[in-house]
Each structure stands twice: as C-alpha cells, then as structure tokens.
Amino acid sequence: MKTKARKAAVSRKTRETDIAVSLNLDGKGIGRIQTGLPFLDHMLELLSKHSLIDLTLRAKGDLAVDYHHTVEDIGLTLGMALDKALGDRRGIVRYGSATVPMDEALARATIDLGGRPWLVWNLACRKRKILEFDLSLLQEFFQALVVQTRMNLHVEQVYGAEAHHACEAVFKAVARALRQASEHDPRSRALPSSKGVL
C-alpha cells in the first residue's frame, strides 16, 4: 500500500520576522538551515540529520534588537509545518523516546504526537550562553514548537556541564524521539487513539 507523501511548506511573516520552512517527514535527514544564528543553525541541522527529516529553513529577523523574536517564530513556523505534514496522524506510531549521550552529557526526550501540547523542560546544565546566544531561548523555541506541532514533549538533560554538549544531546534526543513517533506503524493504519480522534 502506497503511503501519501508527508511534506509541507509554511511561511510566516511579521513586522519582526520572515520565516519559510519546507520539510519532508520521510526524507534522508538533509538540512539546509539559515537563521542568522550560527549556533541555532547547528542545532537545527542536528534535528534534521537525526530525525531523517529533510528540512529547509530560512529566517530573517530583527536580530539587532534581540534574538527572541526570531528563535520563537522559528519554533512556531517549524511546528506549523510538522503539524501540516503529519496530517490526521492516522497510522503513525505516535509515541517516541530516546536517550542520547554526547561525551559527558546525557539527555532524554519523550514525545507524544497525540494532539495535546505540553512541554516539560529540565536541564542540568546551568550555563547561560554560548557566545552571544542566550540558552534560555531554547526553551522558548521548544515551547513554540510543541504548541504548533500539537505534541507533548518531555526533555531532561540528566547531567553534563559543558553547554554545547548538553544542547547537542538534547536536540539529538528530540530528533530520535520525533523520528520514532512520526514513523508509519507497520501494524496499523488506524488513528492511534482509543477516543477515535487526536
């Protein structure tokens, strides 16, 4: 049985940001990312690579004012594209979980694509910045992402004080969990809910 292509393209333009996202859930992990924020580019490339989602993302924002608008709006737009590509979510696994080490750091991510947005964010690393990038913005990114994707995401960076390793472990764990949750269930094409609706 041939499955429908799970692709989406979404753009979002405000007075603060101009963002375009296109993705293929059943891709090969090819990421083409340009946000104006090199650290975020790196994290989103990891998300693409380890989820096997082909992702093209272009963002222009008021970075001279603050990074917040751009980071949050990227999360919103990427979430909108994921939600669109998932369609009615019929036949997906729905749940995914991954634990990923990165040198001394360890992170866990657990996802439910069941339609109810919620973020639990618990990081052991207390570093505030990588170069000029405020790491608290990553929580804002994921909060926006879960709302628009309509997913439940629990992130726990268990240990590891080196900030880059901690963040990298988080993005890789989320990617692996998202890959698992969004995959076609080989045993069912039904909606993965006893309520009959997500």
**Model confidence at 198, in pLDDT bands (50, 70, 90)?**
confident
The parent domain of residue 76 ranges over: 7-182
Q: The tokens 């698992």 sit on which residue?
A: 180
Domain assignment of residue 154, yes or no: yes
pLDDT of residue 1: 46
Domain assignment of residue 196, yes or no: no
Residue 55 pLDDT greater than 50, yes or no? yes
Is 126 in contact with 189 (CB distance < 8 Å)?
Answer: no
Q: CA dist 63 to 18, 44, 143, 161, Å?
A: 12, 18, 20, 28
Domain assignment of residue 67, yes or no: yes
Instruction: Give the pLDDT mean for 55-77.
Output: 97
Share of the chain above pLDDT 70, in %: 98
Q: What is the pLDDT of residues 94-147, one digit of tens each?
A: 999 999 999 999 999 999 999 999 999 999 999 999 999 999 999 999 999 999
| Count of the separate structural domains present in the chain | 1
HSE at residue 49, side-chain half, CA atoms within 13 A, is 10
Long-range pairs for 32-37 at CB < 8 Å and ≥24 separation? 32/56, 32/57, 33/57, 34/58, 34/59, 35/59, 35/61, 35/70, 35/74, 36/60, 36/61, 36/63, 36/70, 37/63, 37/67, 37/70, 37/71, 37/133
Domain assignment of residue 195, yes or no: no
Q: What CATH number has the domain bearing residue 138?
A: 3.30.230.40
Domain assignment of residue 49, yes or no: yes
